[in-house]
Amino acid sequence: MLPLEGITVVSIEQAVAVPFATRQLADLGARVIKIERTGTGDFARHYDTSVNGMSSHFVWCNRSKESITLNLKDQETKKVVDKLLESADVFVQNLAPGAVERMGYGADVLKEKYPELIICNLSGYGETGPYKDKKAYDLLVQCEAGLVSVTGTEEVPSKAGISAADIAAGMYVYSGILTALFTREKTGKGTVMEISMLEALGEWMGYPAYYAGNSGKEPARTGASHSTIYPYGPFSCGDGKTVFLGLQNEREWLRFCEVVLEQPELIDESAFKTNSLRDKNRDLLKSIIETVFAGMTSSEVINRLEQAKIASARLNTMQDFYRHPQLEARARWQEVGSPVGEIRALKPPVIMEGMNPVMKAIPSIGEHTEDILREYGFEEETISKWVDAGVV
């Protein structure tokens, strides 16, 4: 039995954060009914066309779901949503601030009607405070949470290359819903939970926040190098490729000097005796390291680092990652269906004994609308009328 088999999630979702969370619930066996706009559907469907005509964001976040299209501004669709929620376990949404309340699906209303329902609302900045009505997109929340200020080079601040704010929020939606389901098993009662993108990403900003808040100094932007530990970052090799390495303690510094650089005299060099000194004199140390590496290929450098038990990595492109030998060796890819044929999908990262994750197809817009309406007791005549009128 799958962990969430028998659990039904009704989600009015769009973009990345909530779809990422509900896809993970679907991975564990939950039935996820995704409510989309009539006509266009979730706007993340149209971000790009890189996956055989489909959006890479949408493919990533929406496998194993059922798609129903509803014009939620039409009062007729309230009958459908009410019917879905009568037997649902979870209702989750990430519409613009105040939208669900205007539609009649505010937490107070739903809690009264469905006392066992778990209600989860995701917003950009929370339901109170001066930012409660402010629009929130991933890059903008990265800015507000300070992530952009600590990412990039000394000259140029940069956003993270992935949707860090969306992913952080989605992970807390996912873990929050799992926690609420566990609590309901004990109490028999549903709950209302609220998650904001700012606070979710803020939790991930703990180290730089404590550093700045207590030292009065902002963490330095150091590109791909660590801001306070050295050597920890990229180094050029003789074949023009880049190798990343990281030292964590004095034992590793000793081995690095002896085995990798073959310069044991550096161990007692006064400029490099501690990490703080190595960090302070990083330009000098980098010059020494790259002078040694210039006479070696990246593979030779990696081999020497492995011999010394120093952590290292190649600077892979995304295409390199897509074909990573470790993922291939562990059979971490699986084909899933979609409106444009089979697509390669990475299996969920949690490997649980006795459980295979659900890896069903990515739905087309409104693919399951009529089947769901029939299942929930709506007559063929009503369904046909709604289809013709653009209600569904």
CATH code of the domain containing 272: 3.30.1540.10
What residues does 235 pair with on adjacent strands? 243
Distances (CA, A) of 127 to 133, 194, 272, 353: 8, 8, 51, 40
What residues does 71 pair with on adjacent strands? none
In terms of domains, do 131 and 257 share one? no
Q: Which residues contact 193 (CB under 8 A, 6 or more apart)?
A: 118, 119, 120, 121, 176, 177, 180
The two three-digit tokens of residue 230, written as one number: 């050295």
Report the SS3 class of residue 391. coil
H/E stretch holding 93 reads strand 90-93
| Interatomic CA distance for residues 96 and 113, integer angstroms | 23
- Computed over every residue of the chain, the mean pLDDT equals 96
In terms of domains, do 25 and 130 share one? yes
Instruction: Tell me the pLDDT tens digit for each residue of 131-187.
Output: 999 999 999 999 999 999 999 999 999 999 999 999 999 999 999 999 999 999 999
| Interatomic CA distance for residues 97 and 201, integer angstroms | 19
Distances (CA, A) of 264 to 231, 256, 261, 369: 16, 9, 8, 70
What residues does 9 pair with on adjacent strands? 32, 90
In terms of domains, do 49 and 110 share one? yes
Residue whose pair of structure tokens reads 């150091």 in the numeric block: 222
Q: With the CA atoms of 217, 222, 228 and 232 taken in that order, what torsion angle do they form, in degrees rounded to the nearest 10?
A: 170
In terms of domains, do 185 and 39 share one? yes
Evaluate whether 80 touches 368 at the Cβ level (below 8 Å): no
Residue 172 lies in a domain: yes
CATH code of the domain containing 23: 3.40.50.10540
In terms of domains, do 165 and 37 share one? yes
H/E stretch holding 232 reads strand 232-236
pLDDT the model gives residue 49: 97
| Interatomic CA distance for residues 122 and 116, integer angstroms | 19
Structural domain boundaries enclosing 251? 232-315
Residue 101 lies in a domain: yes
In terms of domains, do 129 and 269 share one? no
Angle (nearest 5°) at CA 303 between 234 and 346: 70
Instruction: Tell me the pLDDT tens digit for each residue of 99-125.
Output: 999 999 999 999 999 999 999 999 999
In terms of domains, do 60 and 177 share one? yes
Q: How many CB atoms lie within 10 A of CB 25?
A: 27
Strand 31-36 with 8-12, pairing: parallel
The last residue of a domain, from among 315, 332, 364: 315
Residue 332 lies in a domain: no
pLDDT the model gives residue 77: 96
pLDDT the model gives residue 369: 98
pLDDT the model gives residue 1: 81
Considering only CA atoms, give the Rg of the chain: 26
Sign, CA dihedral 161-167-169-171, equals: negative
pLDDT the model gives residue 46: 96
How many folded domains does the chain comprise? 2
Share of the chain above pLDDT 90, in %: 98
Task: Read off the pLDDT band of 332 (50, 70, 90).
Answer: very high
In terms of domains, do 23 and 161 share one? yes
The two three-digit tokens of residue 111, written as one number: 């809690």
pLDDT at residue 228 greater than cutoff 90: no
Residue 336 lies in a domain: no
pLDDT at residue 32 greater than cutoff 90: yes
| Interatomic CA distance for residues 110 and 116, integer angstroms | 10
Q: Which residues contact 323 (CB under 8 A, 6 or more apart)?
A: none
Q: Is the pTM of this model over 0.85?
A: yes
Length of the chain: 392
In terms of domains, do 69 and 135 share one? yes
Task: Read off the pLDDT band of 227 (50, 70, 90).
Answer: confident
What residues does 311 pair with on adjacent strands? 246
Q: Rounded mean pLDDT of 251-265?
A: 97
Instruction: Tell me the pLDDT tens digit for each residue of 51-96.
Output: 999 999 999 999 999 999 999 999 999 999 999 999 999 999 999 9
The two three-digit tokens of residue 204, written as one number: 């991930």
Residue whose pair of structure tokens reads 């005549």 in the numeric block: 381
Residue 337 lies in a domain: no
Residue 320 lies in a domain: no
Q: Rounded mean pLDDT of 369-382?
A: 97
pLDDT the model gives residue 35: 98
CA–chain centroid gap for 214, Å, is 29
For residue 19, which of 65, 70, 61, 57 has the smallest C-alpha distance? 61
pLDDT the model gives residue 171: 98
| Interatomic CA distance for residues 43 and 13, integer angstroms | 10
